[in-house]
Structure 1
Amino acid sequence: MISRRAQPWLGTLVEITAEGADLTAMIAASDRAFARIAAVHAEMSFQAADSALSRVNRAAQHDWVALPRDLAAVFAAALAFARASDGLFDPSVGGRLVESGRLPRHAGFPPAVSSDWRGIELDGDRVRYAQPLLVDLSGIAKGYAVDVALAALRDAGLSAATVNAGGDLARFGDSPTPIHVRLPQHPTQSVRLAELENGAAATSADYFQPGALRHPRSGERLCAGTSVTVLAPDCMTADALTKVVAADPACATGVLARYGAQAIVLDGKHAMRSDADGWHDLPVGGAA
């Protein structure tokens, strides 16, 4: 038996597919999974002035701030990805996005900020900023939300489940699900890039928000006419590493290997897939 439900969260439509023998149990499990997604959304939204992240961005300029459990976990992961990628993943780019008008400037935010992830000091479940910074976790929070939702479904004893948040997805179960990605030049069409059985995938592209993805150092536009898909053991890792690959595909191969991940870069003509030996041409499935 299969149950499919969807709710609007994380700036997209989140679909949960649950498989099992008891429909009532599947619906209850998906309710718990959606509740976990809603909690992550409420904590980590930069757009909401009253979110836990916005409160941290105001107060951490001055002193140590206690973090809720989920937010502490995502701060720790974001800094780990920043260190592993030498800043190609940088959670401190919030200030630059505010200055460009892509994110709001809430009351209490510093008037001038820098972008330097090394200025974020994390001590367990508390954080402070050593310089004026604004942290934006949108490059990782969606993947984390997918992971915790999938964990809730797994804990419910379902035979299989998939959580799909606008292309950031994770699955467990014995049967694979195809990974379809929109063509960068023709986003109304998609191609099948891979199959996913137990793991996660995330895609970054700019076909719906041109210029939204920027290099954390230079500010250069990323994914202009291309998309980056990362396959990883969990969706938070896949989500974060799409930004690393988009910023520097050559340097990203070592980071991908460290996390047991692979990447696929798709343009209008062909696809390239990374492995331990570098980048190679990849045949792709037919358009859908």
Structure 2
Amino acid sequence: MALVGIAFAVGFTLGPSIGAYFSTKMSAEGTGSSSYAPFAAAAVFSLALLLVESLYLYFKLPETLHFKKPTTNNDPDAVSEKEVVVTKQTIESNANVQQVLRRLNIVHFAYLFFFSGMEYTLTFLTHDKFNFSNMQQGRLLGFIGITSTILQGGYVRRVKGKSSGRGDKSLVTQGMVGCTLGLLSISLCCISADKSSDTSPSWWLWAGAVGFAVASATVVNCLNSMVSLAGAHQQTHAAGDTGKRLGDFRSAGQIGRALGPVFACSVYWLSGAAVCYLVGAVAVSVITVAFVAAIPATTTTKSTATLSPSRSNKTS
């Protein structure tokens, strides 16, 4: 998961700079067919990359479940329909694991609802308040990506490697706290800009960028790990269930990503930038407290022992 996060952070670092470069290749001036939006060239370039990537994945990425080909008993990776049904029935009967998964899905949705929304408005802020050029926008987002990459490889990977799955909750909490402090810093930056009418951002903006980087490096990747490993030491957890639980988890997050920008942009333009980021900071802090209180320290141990010690003692 850390390697996936590093790959995402590298793309997040290079992407804004490439987009800023292509934004200078088409002018918004002119009339008729010669008039283009500044982002048109970047959009065409992104579309080309997506088409190449889709073709590459279709032809080169091996299918994990081999659903297109009949499986045989000699295939060690084959999973029969009977085994899948038994696995689903067994895991669905484990109420404790399912409860943890539901809570993680809710946390994922709520966190991404606010984080993605606040992240979406960041370019509005820098253009509206500080008159950032496209290249300056790219530098700020690139700074977030580089910092996130360093944290992924230099900190998150090492902590997770030493903790054997027990550091995930701590890393998620650290990321959410970093996000809260980052949003609070950006809110203070907006208040300072409103008072001084200065078009150059204060250091609070870069402090907020560091908070965003900490959150990007830790929260979603470690939540993914917690979901995939929930109840992993129990016989009820089987490989056939991992895809379903991760699919549900990712779907909850994508709904948050879809709705969050609508909410954040509405607050930003109706109530002002300072109020918008202050609302985000308060919301993420509440989510952090709920996460710490509702999720066990580790999801890899037996959930009956983690979630309900008294029930476990009675069973034994």
Q: TM-score, normalised by structure 1?
A: 0.29
The structure that is strand-richer by fraction is 1
The structure that is helix-richer by fraction is 2
The higher relative CO (CA closer than 8 Å, separation ≥ 6) is in 2
